[in-house]
Structure 1
């Protein structure tokens, strides 16, 4: 019954929220936009308002950019780096793998529009609670904190993928339809503001004990990542430390096969397949990546990824699958073990978005950048030891800052592959894209570090200029 209620409310607000995005002419014919009428009902009491924000998490499983499917950040940004090799002949997929994306690419358009649809829905929820006089203070704070967190998370990914983007903070289509691109600095400032607000508003515990809902530490973990990208090393260390020190809630699991389970103690924030609204109980990542005799998968792990891993690395045993046919041997991401399940049984795996291992790697890098090489190696070794590798404190105790940072970059590649495009973004923010990607993309240009603004959106909005090189 709970799932049915959540889906009904996301359909109720989702339909009216997405409708204006697809039709400017029909929108302006409506004197009072439908979403305002819906808000009166949806935010009339605590229960219906909570159901509305619950619907956002269902939608995250279905929206292209966050779904984990073949139009998500995980897949498309993964293609842009060097961890994947394509097994698909689809031209639009090959464009990402070859770092030669055209402005009309539909995968890129769905990535962009899926993120902006989510922002529109979040803005509607924020406007709804602001206009409501009947919500309790606790529920109002909780919903505002969660909505601002997800909005920050979404804007962050838009900014790192596209650079300058429109920063939309309203549901007013007359404003949004002609909004120009804001500088990425402005976008990051709004991301920081939203995350800081979320930290102030959210509780330390997980609502309903499900790690699919953000709490205070989820916002801190995201803030640590944002500060890492902004090269604010002290703040990146501060926020990652706050999460790491919350050992009553989080821990590095010794068993690799337990990491990606639902509500794993290593998980900080996850997305549940319950959002599919049907009997499927598997993640989109499992369905996309796992190779069997009866399934076609669009990618395999690249030879450069497999060949550069230490043979004793337990992640090769637990997180990499192998498939052999007449054409050769394929290695595929196997962090998720369930490929397809329509049994309607219990959900055993959630899609991982933020987890504790990343926080150790964030703090390791931040410490190295501040000259604390011993502390950096100590954090790095937490992850290495879990994977059965010799600790760097023994094998490379006198490493320079540059050497420690190189170890961190490689450890991030080993640990975070096939998760949310980490490798692509790491190469970009460390200025290693050209060095690494020219090897797989002979026509590489430095302007390829940003994706193009979709052509259709530029036609609709004359104020949207294009990224260089497109």
Structure 2
């Protein structure tokens, strides 16, 4: 492998702020600067950096799991503090969810700064695809950071609410102040629209961003922004290019696999973009590592004929319900994008804008592929609120431990009194609660970030 990869390794170790260890090291840029299209694509192909350890800390605050009292004292401080929604989360420690994200952003910025299209006049398709991939990765990580470390998008306050550090430069000497939520989401959508124009429709490799994945992420972002018309339109665009659903009866999903779903090296026809999240002990499906149990009400909400109940969960030797099934196909949570999410986005948006027939069609299409063959009866209602409630219930059951989807949903739905949820934890005879729209729906920035950059901390 060429020496240019050294520069990427160097950038692995900094986030939004300067890292003293790296600054003390001497750089010999003549030996390490990427220059060829092969160089740039090799950076993007580094799956250990670009497709793993995506932010998943939001799931630690969710209601899909709980800890038995006897496991509490064995948790690390980040897991324990997040579980109880404590004011302090990191206790001076580094946050993998935060720092790993800016490593990915740094790699994307290197490519966006150094890729000069005029140098490759005969390779414009490849140039465009590489640039599109870099833009997608940056937007994807910005969106995941925004879901944990700043307020949800609220149109009336977005221009003044604090966003994240929108690092658009690879210069490690540059200190990036916090943006606003409005500018955060504008940058994300701008990057994704450019990416969608540049990316290829398909790829042999699920770890590489493609056009329908960019459209899918735009649909997700506009859903988070409560712009249902645009979210629906981008869901349409994504499904135009890729609309396959796994039939859970087909044998592709099986109890013979340790994690039920095809592994990364195999083919899961639903996956548009493959990525995995930080492996917090509450949410990973690795039974030897995971210390949590699935919320009993969530588990009971699945119909007996619903194969998601069969493949997503199992009972351990102590008869406790554990999360098992993951589109990662390994002992990691899936943090990428898949067509099932796009169908749910389009169903919700159609329900909200009054297209009930279309919403029902998408909902029933997904569920038909999730129930035991011949057992599913199409859901029908002509009541918009009843349909919306059903879609949101099934959405929770479809994505209990996928990315930060449940956390994103709680944050956005808490603004609607019909769907606002108060979360509870019971431990050692004490009851803890998280009220809708509480400040603790925003994680604090790691203290190291505050100390080194001077950016404003989130209030909790």
TM-score range, shorter chain: 0.7 to 0.9
SS of the residue corresponding to residue 312 of structure 1 reads coil
How many angstroms apart in 2 are the aligned matches of 1:323 and 1:172? 49
How many angstroms apart in 2 are the aligned matches of 1:182 and 1:118? 19
Q: Spell out, residue by residue over 1:211-247, the C-alpha distance to the aligned partner (whole angstroms, 9 max, x if none).
A: 221111111111111111111111111111122233x
SS of the residue corresponding to residue 218 of structure 2 reads helix
Instruction: Provide the TM-score with structure 1 as the length reference.
Output: 0.80
Aligned partner of 2:392 in structure 1 is 409
Q: Spell out, residue by residue over 1:331-376, the C-alpha distance to the aligned partner (whole angstroms, 9 max, x if none).
A: 3232369667xxxxxxxx9946111111110001110111112211
* Per-residue deviation, 1:103: 4.7
Is 1:442 the counterpart of 2:442 in the alignment? Answer: no
Q: Could you tell me whether the CA contact under 8 Å between 2:149 and 2:445 is conserved in 1?
A: yes
Q: Could you tell me whether the CA contact under 8 Å between 1:211 and 1:268 is conserved in 2?
A: yes
* Per-residue deviation, 1:452: 0.6
**Structure 1 residues 149-168: aligned runs within 5 Å:** 149-163=136-150, 164-168=163-167
Q: 1:181/1:403 Cα in 2 relative to 1: closer, same or farther (>3 Å)?
A: same
* Per-residue deviation, 1:288: 3.6
Is 1:52 the counterpart of 2:49 in the alignment? Answer: no
Aligned partner of 2:180 in structure 1 is 183
* Per-residue deviation, 1:27: 6.4
Instruction: Provide the TM-score with structure 2 as the length reference.
Output: 0.81
**Structure 1 residues 13-24: aligned runs within 5 Å:** 13-18=7-12
Q: Could you tell me whether the CA contact under 8 Å between 1:285 and 1:351 is conserved in 2?
A: no
Q: 1:103/1:80 Cα in 2 relative to 1: closer, same or farther (>3 Å)?
A: closer
How many angstroms apart in 1 are the aligned matches of 2:398 and 2:99? 30
Q: Spell out, residue by residue over 1:96-151, the C-alpha distance to the aligned partner (whole angstroms, 9 max, x if none).
A: 12222515346772211111121112111211213983573232211110000000
Task: Name whichever of 185-194 and 125-134 sits farther off.
Answer: 125-134
Is 1:253 the counterpart of 2:234 in the alignment? Answer: no
Is 1:119 the counterpart of 2:105 in the alignment? Answer: yes
Q: Could you tell me whether the CA contact under 8 Å between 1:240 and 1:359 is conserved in 2?
A: yes
How many angstroms apart in 1 are the aligned matches of 2:244 and 2:82? 35
RMSD (Å), alpha carbons: 3.2
Aligned partner of 2:160 in structure 1 is none
SS of the residue corresponding to residue 164 of structure 2 reads coil
* Per-residue deviation, 1:286: 13
> Structure 2 unaligned runs (5+)?
151-162, 254-260
Aligned partner of 1:81 in structure 2 is 62
User: Number of aligned pairs?
Assistant: 418
Which residue of the other structure, out of 272, 275, 279, is the alignment partner of 1:271? 275
How many angstroms apart in 1 are the aligned matches of 2:317 and 2:22? 53
How many angstroms apart in 2 are the aligned matches of 1:35 and 1:444? 51
Q: 1:268/1:29 Cα in 2 relative to 1: closer, same or farther (>3 Å)?
A: closer
SS of the residue corresponding to residue 289 of structure 1 reads coil
Larger helix fraction of residues = 1
Which residue of the other structure, out of 86, 89, 93, is the alignment partner of 2:79? 93
* Per-residue deviation, 1:173: 2.5
**Structure 1 residues 7-406: aligned runs within 5 Å:** 11-18=5-12, 34=27, 36-37=29-30, 40=33, 42-43=34-35, 45-55=36-46, 57-62=47-52, 64=53, 66=54, 72-73=55-56, 76-86=57-67, 87-88=71-72, 89-90=74-75, 91-105=77-91, 109-130=95-116, 133=119, 136-163=123-150, 164-175=163-174, 177=175, 179-206=176-203, 209-246=204-241, 249-255=242-248, 258=252, 260-261=261-262, 262-271=266-275, 288-291=284-287, 295-325=288-318, 328-335=319-326, 351=334, 353-388=336-371, 393-394=378-379, 396-398=380-382, 400-406=383-389
Q: Could you tell me whether the CA contact under 8 Å between 1:104 and 1:456 is conserved in 2?
A: no
* Per-residue deviation, 1:320: 1.1
* Per-residue deviation, 1:401: 2.1
